[in-house]
Structure 1
């Protein structure tokens, strides 16, 4: 692969996902203000932030393909981010109990040599089981998913919270839509397989 591949993220979850496609890559931390703009929808927010994260890294790499990604969870029209602590995690899971929640993952790929930008937003829907306070407490104490949008890790113990999933790519739920990323890489001349 002639161009470097750079993941504009220090998320261990995104790093693990990107390792699945067996291409060498670097990671870099983007410094981006993630505050939503007035009137911005969840879809607009994650696409803008995915592009902004990739763009924040671009100046350091003259000949690279830079990947940016961002994710939010939406429950009843409200954008939910990372809970940060037990109390907020409990509130998020209590509000999600028995409901269908949509996750939106923004993905961007920027070719720093040509300036070409590809971006998209991928939705992924989860159906939560009806959760008792005891179930929520037990889950949060055991997994402590306070740095995850929606207060769970579907790739871990959080799988016990759900009845079903609906979407194009289960990797989207974890934070990086690999199926779409592979297409984007191929558009830039990178053969993944």
Structure 2
């Protein structure tokens, strides 16, 4: 049994690519950063916490926890939740580099396997009109950093530097497939 400890449609869609049967279970984890917690530490802590929360009630299952943190020079960019916050995030990112820390944790009972990825997104200089057009077209209100790189958001960037393009969407499949193989799953 494989369980994705998430209610994210983006993570579910990514995991479906592996063609393994799985269930989704919401972990109910508090995702707030701790006081003075560095952005690079947040994603691994939350990925492990999500996996642990679901694994506590399902000791027979392999549970996947994942989390992502957008880091703009030490400032965490969360999910904007609405238009004005999305516009403000993109204006802040304009012409700058945002680091996306994405972590995945695979857990069954006391056995824990984990990996992390760093993706750097270099935004081109964006003017207010193009930010507004993008936000109105794609409504990325549930995405850290206020964009969807798998959609129109790709037009906002100068470059993306990553080992794993799926990490930027929220679940690093290259790392996860390695963890699954290590746990005994046949992938593919």
Calculate the TM-score normalised by the size of structure 1.
0.95
Unaligned stretches of 5+ residues in structure 2: none
Question: What is the aligned partner in structure 1 of residue 61 from structure 2?
Answer: 64
Question: What is the aligned partner in structure 1 of residue 85 from structure 2?
Answer: 88
Say yes or no: does 1:27 pair with 2:24.
Answer: yes
Mapping 1:72-111, distance limit 5 Å: 72-111=69-108
Partner residue of 1:164 out of 159, 169, 186: 159
| Aligned-pair CA distance for 1:183 | 0.6
Deviation per residue, 1:82-119 (Å, 9 max, x gap): 0111111111000111111110011111013xx11112
Cα distance in 1, alignment partners of residues 107 and 59 from structure 2: 11
- DSSP 3-state at the match of 1:181: helix
Cα distance in 1, alignment partners of residues 38 and 116 from structure 2: 12
Aligned length: 188
Deviation per residue, 1:90-149 (Å, 9 max, x gap): 11000111111110011111013xx11112321101111111101000000011101100
Question: What is the aligned partner in structure 1 of residue 140 from structure 2?
Answer: 145
RMSD: 0.9
- DSSP 3-state at the match of 1:103: strand
Calculate the TM-score normalised by the size of structure 2.
0.97
Unaligned stretches of 5+ residues in structure 1: none
